[in-house]
Amino acid sequence: MLVSVLRKLVRAVAVLLLVSFATFTLMYGNGPGIARAVLGTNATDATVRAEVAKLGLDRPLLVQYGDWLKGVVTGDFGESFFTGQSVSSALSSRVPVTLTLIVLTILLTAVVSVLVGVAAAVRGGWIDRVVQFLSVAGAAVPPFIVAIGLVFAFAVSFRAFPATGYVSPDQSPTGWIESVTLPVLALLVAAIANSAAQFRGAILDTLSQDFVRTLRARGIPESKVVFRHVLRNAAGPGLTVLSLQTLGLIGGAVFIEQVFALPGLGELSNGSAQRGDVPMVMGCVLVTIVIVLVVNLLGDLVTAAVNPKARTR
């Protein structure tokens, strides 16, 4: 298991280098454009040239990338070309917002999807049909449409929640809950719709296997059969779906952060990429890759922990 984790970590570093270099290459070569965007339309060509040199955008690609990488290793992610804010300080305020959305959504998705999946698979009948219908419907509606509906209903009409903004939990725990409720709900709809159907399928598959029949024949209570044995065997595909959901949520969060004006990573990376703020974009990319890698690693570890058969892989 340890060797497997180490192997994954080495692979993770390789992915990190590859993706970061690819992003750097894409952002590269636009020095005058970036300098013009920094300085505004009043800047003369000479001022733009000077800014290109000041920002070091006239150096070869490999030198720029090498410097950035050296900085990252020493904990210096650089400063925004536009605001002068240090990338690490920007990330430290933005990452918690996005992580809050993702973690809350995925935890609630896991709980609700398992329950709904179990109910649909075990009970069948109308519950199953309703779950299947809602799964398709929920997955078909984009989260930002759900978000707009939620804001209209619960923020504008009933004023039950704030329409925009984020409150940090250390500032006000209740304010924090209020500020993340609608964004999380908006993300939850599609996430649960996708995951519940997958859990249902996995549980149905497992329920039809011989060992379940044997367990039932031995008089093991149905709840034990379902929650101890079936769920454990169905965990593999379910967790894979959850880890894929988590990765999808990183993208989905961009839209949700916009609709709710949340100062998250999505807003930061989107705005920075639009402006050509290379250090900020690279910081966002780095954090995103790390999240992706951690989620994958965690997915593998949890699968292995739940299902011993998976540990041999």
Binding site for another protein (CB under 8 A): 30, 32-34, 36-44, 46-47, 80, 82-85, 89-90, 93-94, 104, 108, 111-112, 115, 118-119, 122, 148, 151, 155-156, 159-166, 174-175, 177-178, 180-181, 184-185, 221-223, 226-227, 258-261, 263, 267-268, 271, 273-276
Shorter beta-carbon distance to another protein: residue 21 or 82: 82
Smaller CB distance to another protein: residue 277 or 300?
A: 277
Closest CA to 303 of 11, 19, 8, 102: 8
In this complex, which beta carbon is closest to another protein, that of residue 126 or of residue 308? Answer: 126
**Smallest gap, in angstroms, from Cβ of residue 13 to another protein?**
30
Q: How far is the CB of 141 from another protein (least distance, A)?
A: 16
41 vs 208, which CB is nearer to another protein?
Answer: 41
DSSP 156-201: IIS--S-SS----TTT-HHHHHHHHHHHHHHHHHHHHHHHHHHHHH
Q: Give whichever of 40 and 60 is closer to another protein, judged by the CB atom.
A: 40
The secondary structure element, H or E, covering residue 123 is helix 87-123
> To the nearest whole angstrom, how small is the minimum distance from the Cβ of residue 113 to another protein?
10
DSSP class per residue in 76-120: ---B-TTT--BHHHHHHHHHHHHHHHHHHHHHHHHHHHHHHHHHH
First to last CA, the chain: 9
We find the least distance from the C-beta atom of residue 152 to another protein, in angstroms, to be 8
Residue closer to another protein (CB basis): 112 or 310:
112
Q: Give CA–CA dist 112/126, Å, rounded.
A: 18
Residues 6+ apart with CB under 8 A from 92: none
> CA angle at residue 153 from 148 to 158, to 5 degrees?
140
Q: Cβ 217 to another protein, closest distance in Å? A: 13
Smallest gap from residue 5 Cβ to another protein (A): 31
If the CB atoms of residues 79 and 205 are measured against another protein, the closer one turns out to be 79
Residue with tokens 């449409």: 145
**What is the smallest separation between the CB atom of 268 and another protein, expressed in angstroms?**
7
Give least dist CB 9 to another protein, A. 32
- Sequence-ordered list of residues with C-beta below 8 angstroms from that of 101, at least 6 positions apart, any chain: 180, 183, 184, 187, 249, 253, 256, 257, 262, 264
Answer yes or no: are the C-beta atoms of 155 and 182 closer than 8 Å: yes
- What is the C-alpha separation between 81 and 279, in angstroms, rounded? 7
Q: With respect to another protein, which residue has the nearer C-beta, 16 or 273?
A: 273
Cβ count within 10 A of residue 288: 20
Torsion of CA 280, 285, 288, 294, to 10 degrees: -120
